Amino acid sequence: MVEVVDARGLSCPEPVLRTLEAIKALEKGELEIWVDNPTSRENVIRAAKSLGWEVVEIKELPDSFKVVIRKS
């Protein structure tokens, strides 16, 4: 089961904070992050990569973005 972080509608820096909290709790595996603006998408991707997580999917939906990251 994939862990999901729903950061839609949240102001900076909450999307990154919630992503980092989830990363810390999970340690490895797959994480799905939902944001609703390009800035949060960029910030979350940058944060994930800085901790060695790989971005496996970025999907643009009508009102949001889904970012899937993974660490083996």
Taking the complex as a whole, the smallest distance from the CB of residue 7 to another protein amounts, in Å, to 9
Measured distance CA(13)–CA(28) in Å, rounded: 23
Task: Give CA separation, 51 vs 48, 62, 63, in Å.
Answer: 5, 29, 27
Taking the complex as a whole, the smallest distance from the CB of residue 14 to another protein amounts, in Å, to 6
Taking the complex as a whole, the smallest distance from the CB of residue 45 to another protein amounts, in Å, to 7
Q: Is residue 63 a contact residue for another protein (CB under 8 A)?
A: yes
From the number of C-beta atoms within 10 Å of its C-beta (0-12, 13-18, 19+), residue 62 rates as exposed
Question: Between residue 12 and residue 31, which ones bind another protein under the rule CB under 8 A?
Answer: 12-14, 16-17, 20
Of 26, 30, 37, 71, the one binding another protein by CB under 8 A: 37
